[in-house]
Amino acid sequence: MSERIFITGIGTGVGKTVTAACITEALKADYWKPVQTGLLEGADTDTIKELLSNDVSVCHPELWKLELPASPHLAAREEQVKIEPGAIISRAADLQPVGRRLVIEGAGGLMVPLNDDYFTADLIRELGAKAIVVAQNYLGSINHALLTAGMLRRLGIHVLGWVFTGDYHSNEDDVVKWSGYPKIGRIPRAQHVDKSFVQQQAQLLSANLHSLLA
Ligand SMILES: Nc1ncnc2c1ncn2[C@@H]1O[C@H](COP(=O)(O)OP(=O)(O)OP(=O)(O)O)[C@@H](O)[C@H]1O
Ligand SMILES: C[C@H](N)[C@H](N)CCCCCC(=O)O
Ligand SMILES: [Mg+2]
C-alpha cells in the first residue's frame, strides 16, 4: 500500500489545513478531506487547491460535505445521514495509485466522533496511516498536545511528529520532550497565507519530512 499521512491536530482551527497544504506541496502528494463540516466558511479542499502550486498533486473530492459547523457526528445527524467509516476505507484504496502518497486531513482533533461509536483516531488506525499532529502554540496547548500524544501512543498509531503553528513558544520544547515525538517544524503566522507562503514553508519542512519518511 502506498504511504498515507493523516493530518490531525490538538483541536479545531489549529492550522491543519495550512499545514496540510505545506506538507502536500513538499511531498508533491495528493490531498483528501473525506469529511468536511461547516461549508459557510469554505471547504478545506478549496483552500488547498488555492494554496498548492505544483502540477502533480491531485485534490480528491470529499465523501461527506455537511452544512453544520460542528462535529461530523452532529452535522451528519442534522442532515439525517450517517458517516460510514467503511466507505472511507474503501475509497482511500481507490484514490491511491501505487507509489502516490496521500495526505488525509481530519475534521477537528483526534477524538472527534464520525458517528456514535467511531472516532477519528479509529479511522487513522484502520487506514494504516502515519500521523502528523498539528499543535498551535497557546496557553493550554501543553495539556491538549500531551493528551493527544498519549492517546496516539495508547492506540499504537505511528506518529511522524509535530508541526507547531504560530509564534515560537517554549511549549514546543516541552511537548517534544514529554511526548517523545520529534518536531517536524513550525509554521509561523503570516500576514497572507498564499501560494508563495506555502511554497516557502514547504521547503523548510521538506528535509525533516523526507528523512522521517525514508
Ligand atoms: N500560518 C498561518 N498564518 C495566518 N493564518 C493562519 C495560519 N494557519 C492557519 N491560519 C488561519 O487560521 C484559521 C484556522 O486554520 P485552519 O483552517 O488551517 O485550521 P484547521 O485546523 O484546518 O481547522 P478545521 O478543524 O476546521 O479543519 C484559518 O482562517 C486559517 O486561514
Ligand atoms: C467546523 C470546524 N471547522 C471543523 N470542521 C469541525 C470541528 C469539530 C470539532 C468537534 C469537537 O471537538 O468538539
Ligand atoms: Mg482544516
For residue 55, count other CB atoms closer than 10 A to its CB.
Answer: 6
Which CATH number belongs to the domain containing residue 77 in this structure?
3.40.50.300
Find residue 4's DSSP bridge partners. Answer: 102
Nearest atom (ligand 2) to Cα of 41: 3
Nearest atom (ligand 2) to Cα of 13: 3
The gap between the terminal CA atoms of the chain, to the nearest Å, is: 15
Question: Could you list the pLDDT tens digit for every one of the 214 residues in the chain?
Answer: 589 999 999 999 999 999 999 999 999 999 999 999 999 889 999 999 999 999 999 999 999 999 999 999 999 999 999 999 999 999 999 999 889 999 999 999 999 999 999 999 999 999 999 999 999 999 999 999 999 999 999 999 999 999 999 999 999 999 999 999 999 999 999 999 999 999 999 999 999 999 999 9
Per the structure, the complete domain to which residue 103 belongs is given by 4-213
Catalytic-labelled residue, pool 28, 33, 82, 177? 33
HSE-CB at 104 with a 13 A cutoff on CA atoms is 31
Quick one: pLDDT at residue 1?
53
62 CB within 6 A, ligand 2: no
159 CB within 6 A, ligand 1: no
- DSSP class of 181: P
- Nearest bound ligand to CA 19? 1
Catalytic status, residue 49:
no
Q: Dig out the grid coordinates for 139 from the structure.
A: 496557553
Quick one: pLDDT at residue 134?
99
Domain count, the chain: 1
CA of 39 to the centre of ligand 2 (A): 12
Quick one: pLDDT at residue 98?
87
Cβ atoms of 39 and 67 within 8 Å: the answer is yes
CA of 189 to the centre of ligand 1 (A): 10
User: 183 a known binding residue?
Assistant: no
pTM of the model: 0.98
In angstroms, the CA 180 to CA 175 distance is 8
